[in-house]
């Protein structure tokens, strides 16, 4: 009798686990992406707006600075952002002679579609191609910068296309591991921990020690997995969304500018930004 009960309980638990697994896989996009959280919005009359889509599919981007600047900084925005507001801090670099560009992921800002991993990759690749084909940038003159969930498409782009440099701000090992710590689903969206090994350009990682959204250890472990040359900036006391504020806007922009120009060495660093 006891064996029968145990077998029945085991089957029930297995069924529950399968249902939970399938539910998690089915809901992964709604759990990962929050386009409705964007702070504000913009229109086609916004400065720098350009539609880089093809075949009638709108892929909205904001491009600021010179048409053919010293370097192009391709920004991959975070979750509660769109192309327009994610470039706020980088406007300074546009005034310093850089071309700065950011594309809306599907379902974000003015881009068509619904957000998913492949769609993020596609839109970011479209902006990369557009900068080369329409603006004449060489691949080595494109610096990719990804914040938070943007670290996924940023790392993937740098691993699959030639780029000059890669900046990752508050990055994760993979999206689900932010919550689960280990892989529990058959799928593992934005697997930075695997993809980072294929990045051949210099890498700069910036992470706050008090990050309550993407734990600090994600940035440190990702740094260990990255190949040389690389550099890590630890921002003492910074949370997720106040990273630039705690670091100091002047210091943040200086670090990005010097790294983009190739003036700052991308070598292992124990530097603490207080």
CA distances from 236 to 37, 217, 246, 255 (A): 27, 13, 8, 16
- Nearest-CA neighbor of 219 among 205, 229, 238, 204? 205
Give the number of other CB atoms < 10 A from CB of residue 7: 10
Radius of gyration of the CA atoms of the chain, in A: 20
- Nearest-CA neighbor of 84 among 107, 61, 115? 61
Active-site residue flag, 218: no
- Nearest-CA neighbor of 89 among 160, 21, 145? 145
Q: How far apart are CA 215 and CA 207, in angstroms?
A: 9
Q: How far apart are CA 143 and CA 189, in angstroms?
A: 23
Active-site residue flag, 240: yes
CA distances from 88 to 67, 211, 249 (A): 18, 21, 11
Measured in whole angstroms, the distance separating CA 75 from the mean position of its chain's CA atoms is: 8
Among 148, 151, 174, 234, the active-site one is 148
212 token code pair? 């309550």
Q: How far apart are CA 171 and CA 263, in angstroms?
A: 23
Q: How far apart are CA 10 and CA 191, in angstroms?
A: 32
Among 77, 207, 218, 240, the active-site one is 240
Active-site residue flag, 148: yes
Among 151, 211, 218, 234, the active-site one is 211
> Which residues are catalytically annotated?
148, 211, 240
């Amino acid at each position: 009798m006891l064996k029968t009960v145990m077998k029945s309980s085991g089957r029930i638990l297995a069924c529950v686990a399968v249902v939970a697994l399938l539910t998690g896989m089915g809901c992964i996009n709604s759990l990962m992406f929050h386009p409705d959280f964007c702070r504000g919005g913009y229109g086609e009359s916004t400065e720098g707006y350009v539609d880089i889509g093809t075949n009638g599919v709108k892929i909205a981007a904001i491009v600021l600075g010179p048409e053919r600047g010293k370097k192009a900084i391709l920004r991959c925005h975070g979750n509660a952002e769109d192309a327009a507001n994610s470039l706020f801090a980088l406007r300074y670099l546009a005034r310093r002679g850089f071309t700065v560009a950011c594309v809306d992921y599907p379902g974000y800002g003015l881009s068509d579609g619904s957000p998913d991993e492949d769609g993020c990759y596609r839109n970011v690749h479209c902006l990369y191609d557009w900068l080369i084909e329409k603006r004449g940038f060489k691949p080595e003159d494109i610096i990719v910068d990804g914040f938070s969930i943007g670290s996924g498409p940023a790392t993937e782009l740098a691993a699959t296309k030639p780029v000059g440099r890669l900046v990752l701000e508050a990055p994760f090992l993979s999206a689900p591991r932010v919550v689960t710590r280990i892989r529990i689903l058959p799928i593992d969206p934005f697997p930075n921990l695997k993809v980072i090994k294929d990045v051949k350009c210099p890498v700069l990682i910036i992470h706050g020690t008090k990050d309550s959204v993407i734990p600090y250890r994600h940035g440190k472990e990702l740094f260990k997995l990255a190949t040389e040359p690389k550099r890590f900036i630890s921002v003492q006391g910074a949370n997720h969304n106040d990273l630039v504020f705690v670091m100091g806007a002047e210091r943040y922009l200086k670090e990005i500018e010097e790294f983009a120009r190739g003036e700052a060495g991308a070598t292992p660093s124990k530097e603490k930004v207080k």
